[in-house]
Amino acid sequence: MKPSLLDFTQKELLSQIKPSFRVKQIFGWLYHNYAQNFDEMKNIPKALKDELAQKFIVNPLKIIKKEESSDGTIKYLFELQDGKTIEAVWLKMKEEITDEEGNITQESKYTICVSTQVGCKVGCAFCLTAKGGFTRDLTAGEIVAQVVNLKRDNNHKHNRMINIVYMGMGEPLDNLDNLAKAIEIFKDEEGLCISGKRQTVSTSGLSNKIDKLGELDLGVHIAISLHAVDDKLRTELIPMNKAHNIASIIEAVKRFPIDTRKRVMFEYLVIKNKNDDLLSAKKLVKLLSGIKAKVNLIYFNPYPGTEYERPNRADMIAFQEYLVNHGLLCTIRDSKGIDISAACGQLKEKTQNELK
C-alpha cells in the first residue's frame, strides 16, 4: 500500500519534495481544491507528478455509499485501499438564515464525524462497531481524507469553518500517534486551518492516554463517554473499565489542559432500565462536582440483536431536568439522522447485510 500525500504534515513533505515552493502548491491542491489525483494538479510539472506517483497516492478513500437524511445529515461509507470500509458523517448543525432581502446573515454550520480505526478493541456491549472486532488503525492520511472528501462532496469551500468530532468508528486514543498527526495536519494554516478548539476527541476513557493527549498540548477538546456512574454497570457496558475505572478517568480529566472558557463534555448513553433513573442522575451530579462539565445525553439507538432498549422520552427529560436543576449544563443529543441508521457502525453493518 503506497502512502498518501495526506499522511504528511507540510514540514514532512518539505523534506521529501523539492523545490519547496512546489510543496506549497501541492498543499493548495490537496486542501484548497481537494484534488483526488495527480492529474488535477494543473500547475505541477508532469515530471514531478510522475516521480511523486511512484511513491505516493493522493486520495486513499473511495465513497461507496451515501445515505442522506431529511435533516441534512449525510452518512458516508468509504472503501480503503485494502478493501476495508469505514464511515464518516456530515452533520448540519445550524440552518442558513437569510434576511428579508435574501442576504445570508448566518451560513449553515457543519460538523464532520470521523472514524479513527477499522473496528475497535474496546468492545462496548452496546456498540455495533465493537461486534466486528478490531481490524486495524487508520493512518493519519485516512483520517484526514474523510474530511477532505466530505468537504469536496458537499462543495464546502476550504475557508468555510467546520468542526470535527472523533466519534465515528474506533477508539481515537488507541491510535494516538496517527490521531495527533491528523490533528496537526488539520490545524495547518495553509491547509484546512481547523484549530484545536474546533476538534473534539471522544474517548471511552483510556485514562493514561488522556494524560498523553494532554501532554501533546494540541488545544483540542475532549469528550468522555461515561455512560454509567458506578463501576459495576460501567464495566458491563465498557469492559476495559476494569483497567481504567471511573475514578481514574475523573482524575485524568482534572489534569487535562482545557481552555478556561470551555467545558469538558461527558457523553451519557441512556439505556432503558439500566441507567435512566434519577438516582443515577443524582450520582452523576456528585461525580462531576468541581469539573467544568457539560453533559450530553444520548438516546441508545437499537439495532437487531441487541439486548438494550431505547429510553422513554419522559425519562430522558426528567433526567435532564434533574441535572439542570442541580447546576449542570445538559443537552439531549437530538436524533440527527435517526432515519438513516444513526449510531456509529450501523451503516457499515447494514451494507454488509445487504451484500450478503
Q: Which residues are catalytic?
A: 87, 344
Position 172 contacts ligand SF4 (CB under 6 A): no
220 part of the interface to ligand SAH, by CB under 6 A: no
Q: Dihedral sign for Cα 183, 185, 188, 191, please.
A: negative
Q: Which region, judged by CB under 6 A, interacts with ligand SAH, from 20-28, 43-51, 55-63, 199-207?
A: 199-207
How far apart are alpha carbons 79 and 57 in whole angstroms? 15
* Residues 109-128, interacting with ligand SAH (CB under 6 A): 126-127
Identity of the residue numbered 101: E
Binding flag, residue 170, ligand SF4 (CB under 6 A): yes
178 contacts ligand SAH (rule: CB under 6 A): no
Nearer to ligand SAH, 56 or 299 (CB): 299
Nearer to ligand SAH, 80 or 223 (CB): 223
Give, for 352, the enclosing helix (H) or strand (E).
helix 346-355
Strand 264-270 with 74-79, pairing: unpaired
- 275 touching ligand SF4, by CB under 6 A: no
End-to-end, the C-alpha distance of the chain in Å comes to 27
Binding partner at 269 among ligand SAH, ligand SF4, none, C-beta below 5 to 8 Å by kind:
ligand SAH
Q: How far apart are CA 244 and CA 35, in angstroms?
A: 42
Compute how many other C-beta atoms are within 10 angstroms of the C-beta atom of residue 118. Answer: 22
Site size toward ligand SAH (CB under 6 A) is 15
DSSP label at 8? S
- DSSP β-ladder status, 97-98 and 104-106: antiparallel
Site track for ligand SF4 across 61-100, x = CB under 6 A: ----------------------------------------
Applying CB under 6 A, among 73, 111, 199, 202 the residue interacting with ligand SAH is 202
Are 216 and 187 within 8 A, CB to CB? no
Residues that bind ligand SAH in the complex, under the rule CB under 6 A: 126-127, 167, 171, 202-204, 225, 267, 269, 298, 300-301, 343-344
